[in-house]
Amino acid sequence: MNERAQLLLSIADDELILGWRDSEWTGIAPTLEEDVAFSSIAQNEIGHARALYELAAQELGTDSDALAFDRDPGEYRCAPLVELHLLDWAHTIARRYLYEEADRVRINALMHSDDAELAGLAAKIDREETYHRMHAELWAARLAAEPRFRSAVEELWPFALGVLEQELRPDLAQRVGLDVVAAHERGEHTPELAELWNVMTEVRRSIPGAQW
Amino acid sequence: MVFEIFRQEKKGQPFAHAGSVEAPDAAFADAWAREQYGRRGESEALWLVPRASIHAITEWADEFDLKYRRVDGYSIKTRLKEARERAGTTPSLDS
């Protein structure tokens, strides 16, 4: 697989798996309003994943559903950050905040890429991300003095670094105000991914090749 | 804080009450109202009004039962027609 397809799949897998994880809050978020907003953001991320899979599918001669659902868990290229099955709101919001900051750095780099198609898609995604960032920043500011949120951010920090290529990490560290440390790198997978994959692909696997 | 949300569906139309959003401050209300009332392109614009800013009127005094000030059951159409005929100013269909 060429470098472009690998890059597209890395980002698409991040967005799909985080979208899936965040959608696990649908119906049980802390307030009704946040439930609606959080579910909507999760859906947007899955929409971004689809657009990226479509680009990768052209490159690989397949389709976006096959890329999203027909690979083995070990073939996914997502960062461990998005796989974690986090149970409390402090960690969930800490992950959203860290992911949005990392994604901002990554999208900004892609928008300036020589690959016009990829740069165009990055710009389109960036416009929708404005609202995700607004949401994450509001929460981060509101919980800044909350010990549970601060320890969740510190705990997840090595995972957040793993979302980005080495050369982009200092940028993220500066934005978040933490130091670059050893990261949980892309390519490692947590046991949580296989569990998620089992649920996520269950219907698709039940009748292979069916058109829904 | 509770914010009452008013939604304008199309440019030029009046804003109509759409519901409310409970949020810790105006910034959260902004983020949440966008998602709840605008993300399907169903709104041209939203007004977010703190409920405390709304001056509501819910009580009405009518101690003397002034029924003659109401128009219920009063068919103005027939009476207007009669009055016009008396005055000779019935609108003609041709004019």
Q: Is the pLDDT of residue B95 over 60?
A: no
**Distance (Å, rounded) from C-alpha A212 to C-alpha B16?**
39
pLDDT of the residue at B93: 64
C-beta atoms surrounding A145 within 10 Å: 8
**Distance (Å, rounded) from C-alpha B8 to C-alpha A34?**
23
Distance (Å) from the C-alpha of residue B28 to the closest C-alpha of chain A? 7
A113-159, pLDDT tens digit by residue? 999 999 999 999 999 888 899 999 999 999 999 999 999 999 999 99
pLDDT band at A40 (very low <50, low <70, confident <90, very high): very high
Q: How far is CA A130 from the centre of its chain?
A: 15
Q: Does A142 contact B at CB distance below 8 Å? A: yes
Q: Is the pLDDT of residue B69 over 90?
A: no
pLDDT band at A87 (very low <50, low <70, confident <90, very high): confident
Return residues 14-33 of A near B (CB < 8 Å): 31-33
Domain covering B2-53, topology = Ubiquitin-like (UB roll) (3.10.20)
**Distance (Å, rounded) from C-alpha B52 to C-alpha A157?**
41
- Whether residue A92 is contained in a domain is answered as yes
Strand order in the sheet with B16-22: B16-22, B2-8, B45-50
Give the H or E element holding residue A185. none
- Segment A204-212 shows an average pLDDT of 85
Q: Is the pLDDT of residue B65 over 80?
A: no
Q: Which of A33, A35, A146 to mutate to test the interface with B (most CBs of B within 10 A)?
A: A33
Tell me the domain boundaries of chain B: 2-53
Higher pLDDT, A110 or B91: A110
Closest by Cβ to A131, choosing from B23, B27, B34: B34
- Whether residue A154 is contained in a domain is answered as yes
Q: Is the pLDDT of residue A195 over 60?
A: yes
Q: Give percent above pLDDT 70 in chain A.
A: 100
- Segment A34-59 shows an average pLDDT of 95
- Whether residue A212 is contained in a domain is answered as no
Q: Which residues of chain A are within 8 Å of residue B34 when distances are taken between CB atoms?
A: 131
Q: Is the pLDDT of residue B92 over 60?
A: yes
Residue of A nearest to B39 (CA): A40
Phi, psi of A190 (to 5 degrees): -90, 155
A90-104, pLDDT tens digit by residue? 999 999 999 999 999
- Whether residue A190 is contained in a domain is answered as yes
Higher pLDDT, A206 or B71: A206
Task: Give the residue numbers spanning the domain of A9.
Answer: 3-206
- Segment B21-37 shows an average pLDDT of 94
In this prediction the pTM is 0.84
Angle, alpha carbons A192-A196-A200 (nearest 5°): 170
pLDDT band at B94 (very low <50, low <70, confident <90, very high): low
- Whether residue A36 is contained in a domain is answered as yes
What CATH number is associated with residue A179? 1.20.1260.10
A1-36, pLDDT tens digit by residue? 899 999 999 999 999 999 999 999 999 999 999 999
* Number of structural domains chain A divides into: 1
Q: Evaluate whether ipTM surpasses 0.90.
A: no
Lowest-pLDDT choice from A54-68, A72-86, B76-90: B76-90
Give the H or E element holding residue A209. none
Distance (Å) from the C-alpha of residue A211 to the closest C-alpha of chain B? 27
Q: Is the pLDDT of residue B84 over 70?
A: yes
Average pLDDT taken over every residue of chain A = 95
pLDDT of the residue at A83: 97
Closest by Cβ to B21, choosing from A33, A41, A142: A33
Higher pLDDT, B78 or B14: B14
pLDDT band at B9 (very low <50, low <70, confident <90, very high): very high
pLDDT of the residue at B62: 75
Lowest-pLDDT choice from A10-19, B13-22, B36-45: B36-45
